[in-house]
Structure 1
Amino acid sequence: MPGGRLTSQERRRIAAGLADGLGYAEIARKLGRPTSTVSREVSRNGGGADYRADRAHRATGRRARRRPSMAVPAATTPAAARRFAEEFAAVLVGTGVPRMAARVFAALVTTDAGALTVADLVGGLRVSPASVSKAVGYLEGLDLVRREREGRHERYLIDEDLWLRTWLTSARTNTALAETARRGVEVFDVATPTGARLDHMRQFFARLGEDMAGGPEGAEDALTVAAALVHAAGPCTAERVARALGWPVDRVAGALRDAEARPDVTDPVAVRHVGSGEYAATARPERLTAAQREALRDCSTILM
């Protein structure tokens, strides 16, 4: 179920989807899972080229068998470990994280298993259970910590892909700011000083979010189908493009829709639906003025 651990069958479906050339988002839709679940699963188990379902399932089993421990490695003294945890927590507090949440997170990061129970945290930090619960709730809201039931006890843990999730969360925040700014442009009009300022904000955060996320979702497919249409030099159906690329028709159809909806992704080419199920690629009109387009209209004749 969504939010639970992936099953062996789901991992086999992920492997099959990767073999078919499907993107993470499409695989996730077929599984009824978040895209981030699939991307984390693949990235932590060899990547798209080396992902193997059975191997990933065994690795997950090994990680699940780890037990929490606040023991300090022999090479590190307890005093040195405490000093580092306090230093780490202080840096987090400096970034705006509440002190108790910072201490809990520092304790988890500096524990071999990356997981601790309430009793572990209460005893190790010498704080109340209520303080731990509040701190964990805050960290969960940032997607930094998750809960896991183990028998009658609950433990809190961080994943090996924690920093990837944090990075993607920041990317989503930038994308949300870009979308809010876009709505502001519609309200104030880009021709006004306020609208122009919001449009500049939209462009900045949109690019930043896309760069952090590795580009907009489906961008590579959108660019590929746009290039195919340019090469075809005429309208094509999704079926014809799919045959030429050797892709499933659903993948091409989705990429064509994405390319048409997001012209900024395929810039300076624009993909348009021209009817009868056909698409064509043209230069984005915003790139050229009317006079420039008119001057180029007879370019081929001039060159001859």
Structure 2
Amino acid sequence: MTPALPHPLAARWAAHLADVRRRSAHTVRAYHATADRLLAFLRGHWGEPVTSTRLAALTGADLRAYLAARRGEGLTNASAARELSAVRGFLEWAEIEPPRLRAPRSPRSVPRPVAPADVLALAEEVADEALEPWMAARDWALLLLLYGAGLRIGEAMALTGRVLPLGETLTVQGKGGRTRIVPLLAQVKGAIDAYVAQCPWAMAKDAALFRGLRGGPLSPTLIRRAIRGARARLSLGERTTPHALRHSFATHLLGRGADLRSLQELLGHASLSSTQIYTAVDAAHLLDVYRHAHPRA
């Protein structure tokens, strides 16, 4: 794809997102980059500079060619759907009717872990729909925590200001009152710190870490609803839920060589038999890889 160079139209779109729509800095950067990529692609695709007048003549075939180029760079279906959503937003801002085009669909199948790229696309999509920048930072941090530390949604909601300041680990109260310690990835810690810095409510020791619009504890129902909307827009399966992020954490760790006993401790399972389900999930994933990759499968 033609290298994305700064384009004045993309810059004005980014300014609109930041100043009028009050989107988070993360979202503005991502959408600005998408607009720059689209305009750079069209310049090469059409062989001429892209003006507002020329852009108004964009066709479905042009957009399909752009998405095909992006998919050739390794985009997943969910990421491609998100890219298309950002492009539509950009075109609508420019008062251009977006060509009718279906978002790429993720194939329906038996339960599978959510791919890391799809986890990030999901978290970004949920954050983009937040009412305020601090809420976008909150949703981004929460979903990264569920995937990056394998927490249940209830465990994350039970965290209070006592966990601050964050260190390299997090103490979690799980089912049956069992306490466990989970490592905290630098990316997850950074996301939570960024949310805390933006949150308008004081982080008292006995107050919920993740807060709602009016300062009370955030409701898990709101997060589940936000994920349902995001997964529909990204064409992810119905089994993409907050708990699916915990399953993905476990399955991806197992696939990278984690042993069952360590995984049991990280997940807070009372019995090893509860953890052994992930060996079946991982085996199913390996079978998929085999079927798609083996020349005689």
TM-score normalised to structure 1 length: 0.26
| Higher RCO structure (Cα 8 Å, ≥6 apart) | 2
- Rg: which structure is higher? 1
Structure with higher strand content:
1
TM-score normalised to structure 2 length: 0.26
